[in-house]
Structure 1
Amino acid sequence: MRLNQYTTGTYTPGAPLFQQLLWFFLGDPLVRSRLLPFSGLKVLILRRFGAKIGQGVRIKPGVRIKFPWRLTVGDHVWIGENAWIDNLALVTIESHVCLSQDIYLCTGNHDWSDPHFQLITAEIYIEQRSWIAARAIIGPGVRVGQGAILGLGSVTGHSLAAMTIYAGNPAQLIKKRTIREAIPEMIQNTSESLTPDSKFSVAE
């Protein structure tokens, strides 16, 4: 291959140059900063740069996001320290997902059979109630099924089935995930503390 002839082809970053520069020099350093511990402010900055983010999202220090305008996050998502969302393509994270420390979401690849090492991008989609454990890596085009777990330090380039635990490099199916039933007293206390409107929203 001839890297001096490499081009990105028809690929574009998806935002004007001034927006990219503003993100690179201002937005990105603020979101990554360990001197800015407040998730709410980081969420506000990401929204200003085009990210779609729900309520109750927690963003720890050191989080890196390539292009916020290609990021969609649901409600009550946790993003751990030093997580790297390398979203050349769209990354969608549904509600109640936990992304632990040092995880890497990679949406870019190259065609190794092409003499010009052509860039290839593909979306990543993580369904609700999933857990991507610390230092795990997800490759382009992967869909993580609802409630799936990718174990500590694991690597996957293939989609993961719902409610299933995977581990290793490459990640292999370990077993089905089961959730213990809630304690009846806990359910009753929670129900009593909800207003009629909140009960309806929880049921939905």
Structure 2
Amino acid sequence: MKHKLFLLYAWFIWAFTFFLPDIGVLMRFRGGLYSLAMGECGKNFQVSSGARLFCLPNLTCGNDVYIATNVVINACEKIILGNEVMVGIGSTLVSGNHTLLEKSYRYGESEREEIFIGAGAWIAGNALVLAGGRLPESSLLAGGAVLSKSFYEPGIYGGIPAKLIKLNGK
């Protein structure tokens, strides 16, 4: 029941604020409403009007986090966004995967793993971060990339599946 109440709360925030323009003060207002149900949230949390956030108690954000329009965050397991993280337009973060049961993924047991995005990281537009994904601090996940495993060295990651393209400073 509690889960359904949080889903309803997130829907109400989206429904009653989607028409507000994406300017700083209004995005902070929207972020403040979401933060009331989140696990933890730092200051200056900005959420664009088209973003959809689900399972708020499992979402943790640091300071100065920005969520762009059309982003979907489904935190069925813990999702941690460090300080100064940016999530680009149309990106999706989902901390659960389906499994196969009797030739169908419809009723297979859910596999859930934490997602961690380090401080100062940027998830570029239309990227996908799956359960178990870890992007180190000060890293870039290129547009359209699919991150499904853990990385530990700051750099630029891209591709399907994501791999290291270049270490920072090299």
TM > 0.5: yes
Smaller-chain TM-score bracket = 0.7 to 0.9
**Is 1:99 matched up with 2:99?**
no
Which of 144, 157, 168 pairs up with 2:148? 157
Shift of 1:60: 1.5
Structure 1: runs of 5+ lacking an equivalent: 1-14, 180-204
| Alpha-carbon separation, structure 2, partners of 1:34 and 1:170 | 36
Larger of the two Rg values belongs to structure: 1
Which of 30, 41, 61 pairs up with 2:16? 30
User: Structure 1, residues 168-195: CA drift from partner, whole Å, max 9, x if none?
Assistant: 111221111229xxxxxxxxxxxxxxxx
Q: 1:18 to 1:98 in 2, by over 3 A?
A: closer
Which one-letter code corresponds to 1:19 in the other structure? L
SS of the residue 1:117 aligns to: coil
| Alpha-carbon separation, structure 2, partners of 1:42 and 1:147 | 26
In the superposition, the TM-score normalised over structure 1's length comes to 0.72
- Number of residue equivalences: 163
Task: Give 1 or 2: higher helix fraction.
Answer: 1
Structure 2: runs of 5+ lacking an equivalent: none
Q: CA RMSD in A?
A: 2.1
Task: Give 1 or 2: higher strand fraction.
Answer: 2
Which one-letter code corresponds to 1:153 in the other structure? G
CA contact 1:57–1:76 (8 Å) conserved in 2: yes
Which one-letter code corresponds to 1:126 in the other structure? I
Q: 4+ residue stretches of structure 1 with deviation over 3 A?
A: none
In the superposition, the TM-score normalised over structure 2's length comes to 0.85
Identical-residue share of aligned pairs (%): 24
